[in-house]
Structure 1
Amino acid sequence: MKPLLEDLVQTPIPTRHGEFILHYYSNSLDRKEHIALVKGDVKGQDNVPVRIHSECFTGDVLGSRRCDCGEQLDMALHLISQAECGVLIYLRQEGRGIGLLKKLQAYNLQDQGMDTVDANLHLGYQADEREYDIAALILTSLQVNSIALITNNPEKIDGLKGLGIAVNTRIPIEIKANDDNLGYLQTKAKKMAHWLFQTQNEQD
């Protein structure tokens, strides 16, 4: 059966990066509340700046320094605002898809010496279990013609292309490392092939 997506509510959201229209979606794939923040008129447009941001409670809400997620969220909204057109899709797939409980358990394993990949594997999960089907459905619903994806993750580009999304180019979103997330970022670069050139120059 073809997956269904419904745009249930659209409402203006004023932010420090300007005003966006928040779209709240229901879908037939899961029961999670996925949203999109849309700036400007994206219908039928090419090379629309798009950020696919996966939920990170600790980084996005609490400002945790263990990752770069909160800072990436803020930077993405800034980039979209500067372009005066774009989409930030907020997917509810915490902890690279393993959920908040398992992510916090993985944190404890990391504090015992594992990196983020090994901790996920130890808990019985893949290094990254995120999927982008709903993001593709949202972009199709918004009638975006092609996108400039705001990402450092080559798998995200491949995943969206595999779902029929025209990814014409990439916009880097690299955050300067701090003492608490340097190892996390180095693991992204070394084991997950993320394009993190600043981090690669900060070897321990």
Structure 2
Amino acid sequence: MIAYRRRHDNLVRMRTEETITSEFGGEWRLRIYADETQGAEHIVLVKGDISGDDPVLVRMHALDPMLDIVGAGGPGRRNEFGDAMEAIAAEGRGVLVLLRDLHMTLHPEGGASPQTLRQYGLGAQILSSLGLHDIVLLTNSPRPKVVGLEAYGLSIVGTRPIGGGR
């Protein structure tokens, strides 16, 4: 069913693209993708040439202001986004996807909600639209078991930890 929906139901559309310069790795292509069903805009940062058959370094990051900005919930998360950008810049190529959830609460119940699983699908559509196939995930979590990626033409071929250099 996912393969059918991949071919026929595209839930995200790229709205804009521009070049930006960041303190985390210099020049990036910034793309804004809109979720056609809920209206959320997701930010995609692309570094270098991501075409070709070699695996691409990817960070999928679900925005959580309490963890990412305030630093609540334990050490390490507050700097992950910038650290991931620097790791991709050091590699010379890669993609960072910042998924935004319009329905997020400040006190989540925990666990993988249907909304979290839906975001994985949106992220997979975004990566597929970029022409990616084999990816190496930047993550400090154990190797993820994300089902259905094959239907989007994606395969996780490895993981790499995000440095904690700050």
Alignment of 1:101 with 2:106, yes or no, is yes
Structure 2 Cα separation of the partners of residues 92 and 79 of structure 1: 22
What root-mean-square deviation, in Å, do the aligned CA atoms of Structure 1 and Structure 2 show? 2.5
Find out whether 1:92 has 2:81 as its counterpart: no
CA contact (8 A) 1:47 1:147 kept: yes
Go from structure 1 to structure 2 and tell me whether the alpha carbon gap of 1:155 and 1:91 turns closer, same or farther (over 3 Å shift). Answer: farther
Alignment-derived partner of residue 160 in structure 2: 171
| CA shift for structure 1 position 16 | 1.0
Quick one: structure 1 residues 83 and 143, their matched pair in 2 at CA, closer, same or farther if it must change by over 3 Å?
same
Matches within 5 A, 1:163-202: 163-164=151-152, 165-173=154-162, 175=164
Structure 1 residues 45 and 85: CA distance shift in structure 2, 3 A: farther
* Pairwise CA distance, 1:53: 0.5
Unaligned 5+ segments in structure 2 are 1-7
| Alignment counterpart, residue 26 of structure 1, candidates 19, 24, 34 | 34
Q: How many residues align?
A: 151
Deviations 1:153-191 (A, max 9, x none): 347442463554111111122649xxxxxxxxxxxxxxx
Task: Name the residue aligned to 2:13.
Answer: 6
**CA 1:89–1:160 in structure 2 vs 1: closer, same or farther (change >3 Å)?**
farther
Q: For residue 98 of structure 2, what is the amino acid of its counterpart? A: Y
- Seen in structure 2, the aligned counterparts of structure 1 residues 162 and 145 have a Cα distance that, compared at 3 Å, is closer
Residue in structure 1 matched with residue 128 of structure 2 by the alignment: 140
Go from structure 1 to structure 2 and tell me whether the alpha carbon gap of 1:30 and 1:46 turns closer, same or farther (over 3 Å shift).
farther
TM-score (norm 1): 0.64
Percent identity (aligned)? 28
Range that drifts further, 140-149 or 159-168? 159-168
Alpha-carbon distance, 1:8 to partner: 1.1
Contact 1:3 1:27 in 2 (8 A): no
Distance 1:3 1:156 in 2: 24
Bigger relative contact order (CA 8 A; separation at least 6): 2
Runs of 4+ displaced beyond 6 Å: none
CA drift at 1:56: 1.6
**SS of residue paired to 2:21:** strand
Looking at secondary structure, tell me which structure has more strand per residue.
Answer: 2
Comparing 160-169 with 137-146, greater Cα deviation is found at 160-169
Rg larger in structure: 1
Deviation at 1:45, TM superposition (A): 4.1
Contact 2:124 2:149 in 1 (8 A): no
Matched, 1:69 2:77: yes
